A = this chain, B = another copy of it.
Amino acid sequence: MNTATNVQKQLSRVDRALRSGTLADIAGVISEMSPGDVAHLINTSPPNYRHVLWSLVDDEQEAEVINELPEDLRNAFLVDLQPEELAEIVGQLDDDDVADILQELPEEVTSLVLSIMDDQDRARIEAVLGFSDDVAGGLMSTDTITIRADLTLDVVLRYLRRHSEIPQNTDSLIVVNRDDAYVGLLPVRTLLVSDPNVSVREMMITSREPIPAGMEAAEVARRFERNDWISAPVVDDVGRLLGRITIDDIVDVIREEADHSLAALAGLGEEDTFSSIVQTAPRRAIWLGINLATAFLAAWVINLFQGTIEKVVALAVLMPIVASMGGIAGTQTLTVLIRAFAMGHINDRNQLWLIGRETAIGLINGLLWAIVVSAAAAMWFDDIRLGAVIAAAMFINLLTAGTTGALLPLALRRLGIDPALAGGVVLTTITDVVGFLSFLGLATLLYG
């Protein structure tokens, strides 16, 4: 038997213990699990079990578990703690994680926690707290090992041995000059295999650009992805080393960013999987309300053509088809653009080409489905004119969907509005209105 199902076994043991109420047993299992797995256990448990499980985490694991929990849940646990306990927990974490946590807590708690820390820790945390968490500076840890270029590798090795603790994810030592300016990187694997008598200068890599502290987190993540980095140095405006960013935080950025697009398109916001009904229902309600307003707008358009519908009821039967196909085609184009933004694919060189392609696809698919739909409609209601009307409306709406689906997110982005959040609502409103207007309008011309 392989051992990898251990985690699953541990989870089932916790589950049985929760049901039978033998909490002492759970504490035992939890202490054997990795902090990440404990966080996963707590996060995937229904709300009523979460506090029980958290209370069973022992003090040593608390900091690491907290660090792996989603924000909502983390804050819910942290506000219950005394500032001293909080200071102790955050003292065990990386600066960027501490900064993340402190930024979310009430200001008086944050300053209390900072005041309890020792001077060195406080200075480090404050350096990171100066940046928002969506730029490189907010992702960095100031806990770096820096060396000078004129040392020999042997001296570096002896220095490390004295240092006694190397920060996690240290794949490279950072080479700086006298002014603390970034000079290059010395990969640990180079250090391990090279002649100890050569100098750092001879072995270091100088081709790696450092990350400016103000770079957007999403762009930092794309650089990590493109270049398969484990860590990267962060510098200020004049090239002075501020800290370094490690891949574990980048993985979180990638996950959150990708998840954000998906959630925003459905109007879900920062909702976590197991948020309570009381938290969730109002958030969803707002989105439904916005969509209701746009649905009434579409209804108002239909209302303009009451007379025509009364004459030809088949129009009421067919009109949702035109609107719905436009919505589907528009969402396809919109999603392509949102994905492309998330991956940093869109720039001035290619956006015209993209708009052109989406328009062309709208044209082609508009023609194709216009023919299919008009044949089906004409046969169903035995009315050639109805076929002609729906063909024209379908073509107009699919073409609109393609062009608008591409132009709209580009325009929203320029205005600083998130296309994933606003794009879907605006776009389906457009395709609904254009769909109903063209279909019922043309029908009125023909039958009216």
> Chain A residues in contact with chain B, CB under 8 A?
2-4, 6-7, 11, 15, 34-37, 39-40, 43-46, 68, 157, 160-161, 163-166, 168-171, 188-189, 191-194, 207, 209-212, 215, 222-228, 230, 235, 237, 239, 247-248, 250-252, 254-255, 258-259, 261-263, 265-268, 271, 273-274, 276-277, 280-281, 284-285, 287-289, 291-292, 295-296, 298-299, 302-303, 306, 309-310, 313-314, 316-321, 323-325, 328-329, 331-332, 334-336, 338-340, 342-347, 349-350, 353-354, 357, 360-361, 364-365, 368-369, 372-373, 376, 398, 432
Which B residues are CB-close (under 8 A) to A39? 226
Q: Which residue of B lies closest to A302 (CB)?
A: B317
Known A209-B6, A376-B296: A225·B251 in contact at CB below 8 Å: yes
Query: Which of B4, B261, B316 interacts with A316 by CB under 8 Å?
Result: B316
Q: Quote the shortest CB–CB distance from A9 to chain B (angstroms).
A: 11
Known A46-B353, A188-B192: A239·B274 in contact at CB below 8 Å: no
Please state the number of chain copies in the assembly: 2
Which B residues are CB-close (under 8 A) to A227? 34-37
Q: Which residue of B lies closest to A34 (CB)?
A: B227
Query: Which of B273, B287, B343 interacts with A332 by CB under 8 Å?
Result: B287
Query: Which of B46, B263, B295 interacts with A321 by CB under 8 Å?
Result: B295
Inter-chain contact A335/B265, CB cutoff 8 Å:
yes
Known A262-B261, A284-B361: A369·B292 in contact at CB below 8 Å: yes
Q: Quote the shortest CB–CB distance from A392 to chain B (angstroms).
A: 17
Inter-chain contact B325/A295, CB cutoff 8 Å:
yes
Q: Quote the shortest CB–CB distance from A281 to chain B (angstroms).
A: 5
Which B residues are CB-close (under 8 A) to A160? 192-193
Name, among A285, A288, A354, the residue most crowded by chain B CB atoms within 10 Å (CB to CB). Answer: A288
Which B residues are CB-close (under 8 A) to A247? 230, 247, 251
Known A227-B34, A310-B310, A321-B296: A273·B343 in contact at CB below 8 Å: yes
Other CB < 8 Å A-B pairs besides A4-B215, A161-B194, 12 of them?
A: A34-B226, A40-B222, A43-B345, A160-B193, A225-B251, A247-B247, A262-B339, A267-B328, A273-B339, A288-B365, A299-B320, A302-B317
Which B residues are CB-close (under 8 A) to A353? 46, 274
Inter-chain contact A268/B36, CB cutoff 8 Å:
no
Report Cα–Cα, A4/B323, bound state, in Å: 47
Which B residues are CB-close (under 8 A) to A285? 364-365, 368-369
Report Cα–Cα, A235/B339, bound state, in Å: 35
Report Cα–Cα, A191/B207, bound state, in Å: 27
Inter-chain contact A306/B295, CB cutoff 8 Å:
no
Inter-chain contact B268/A335, CB cutoff 8 Å:
yes
Report Cα–Cα, A237/B5, bound state, in Å: 12
Report Cα–Cα, A4/B213, bound state, in Å: 10
Which B residues are CB-close (under 8 A) to A259? 258, 339, 342-343
Q: Which residue of B lies closest to A35 (CB)?
A: B227
